[in-house]
Each structure stands twice: as C-alpha cells, then as structure tokens.
Amino acid sequence: MLEQETTVPTPLWSRVLVWLCLPLAGAALLWGILLLIDWLPFGGPLNLVRRLPEPWDLVVALGLGLIIGLIFAALVDAESLTVRITTMEVVLTRPGRRRAVPRGEIAVAFPDRDQLVLLGRTGRELGREPCHLSKKKLSAAFTAHGVAWAEQDPYLEAYRRWVPHLPDVPDAANAVFTARQKALSSGDDEDVRELREELGRLGFVVRDDKKKQYWRRVAS
C-alpha cells in the first residue's frame, strides 16, 4: 500500500515574482533617487555616485539597487515554507532549513500570527517556522492525516511575561532568557531561534510579542 502524502507548498510563481520584482524595484528606486538627488534634502553615499562621469553614475546606481533588491528577495524567500505530511512524519522545509517531526508525536498544529507551530502531547513545542501559506489548506491537510488543527495556541492563556530574576524560573533558564532578550532587541534571528530551542530543552515554551518574551512551563 502506497504511503499517503499531502504537500502544501509556497507557490512557485510567488517565489519567482519575489526574485524578479524586488531587484527591479530596488534598481528603479535608486535610479529615481539619482535623478532627483539635486532636489532632495538628503544624498548620503549617492552624492558620491552622482559625481561619477556619465553613464557610470547610472550604472552604479542601478547595480546598487539590484543588489539591495536581491538582499530583500533572499530575506523574503527564506520564509517560503513547504509543508509535507505523510502517515509517518510532518516535514517543514524552507531554503536552507528542514525539520522532520514524527506525525504520531504531534497533538495539534496551529498558526501563531505569521508562523506555523506544532505541539506535542505534553504541550512541548516540536516545530515553529515562518509561514504565509493558506490556513484553509493547512487545516485540511493536517486534519486529513489525523492531526488536530486549532485556530490559535490552545495554551495561550498560560503564558506569562518574562522579566529578569523571576523566582519560579531557574537561574539557567533566566540566563538563556536574558541572552535571548538581547538577541531579540538586536534583531539576531538565528540566535533567537537557537535560544528558543535551548529553552525548550529546559522545559519552557516561549512566544514573542513586540520584542517581549512570554513563557510557560511544559507539563511533565
């Protein structure tokens, strides 16, 4: 008997559009600024570009705009999630990252703003990835494979705001929360992710709201 499988991908046309439109938009923006720079109250590094002989000023401006657009396209594409659900596992894949979770360990899946979250039967977080996929399609895919779908975090009321030196948070976890708060404030997304996983190993689930951390303990 063939294994049943459902895949919910980010549409290919959407990713292609991102890689085409953002670099072109960046080039157009820099070109426009270069044309208007004499009437603008700011110039910055583009004043140096403007002093280049023609047509090199335009070539350099367009090149810089393309590069800026490509950087933004890479950041957007990094959140292009594909969810594959089989009888054995749920696989969350995006460029440069793949997480496979045994299907039998998942108690519920739900959207948390712009992320998809998988929780285990004790409330432990098994997976959390950026997600802009259709909630309707995800709900149908998970329920078709026997995984419960919720419209929000079923433990939402259990979270508490983290502040330093909470007496019911062990010193080891407080140290991780402190380091993670610094990473949140500085925008270090990779450190934020790694420290979230470290807190998970210590028995904490954490969610963020406007650079503030909220936590709950995992049931034993």
Kindly give the confidence (pLDDT) of every residue in the chain, 220 residues in length, as a single tens digit, with 9 standing for 90 and above: 345 788 888 878 888 888 898 889 988 888 887 777 666 656 566 666 666 677 777 788 888 889 999 998 888 888 789 999 999 999 999 988 899 999 999 999 999 999 999 999 999 999 999 998 999 999 999 999 999 999 999 999 999 999 998 898 999 999 999 999 999 999 999 999 999 999 999 999 999 999 999 999 997 6
**For residues 116 and 83, is the Cβ–Cβ distance under 8 A?**
yes
**Amino acid letter at 210?**
K
For 173, phi and psi rounded to 5 degrees?
-70, -40
Buried b (16+ CB within 10 A) or exposed e, 147-180: beebeebebeeebeebeeeeeebeeebbebbeeb
Total residue count of the chain as it appears in this document? 220
Gap between the Cα atoms of 29 and 32, Å rounded: 5
Beta bridge partners of 70: none
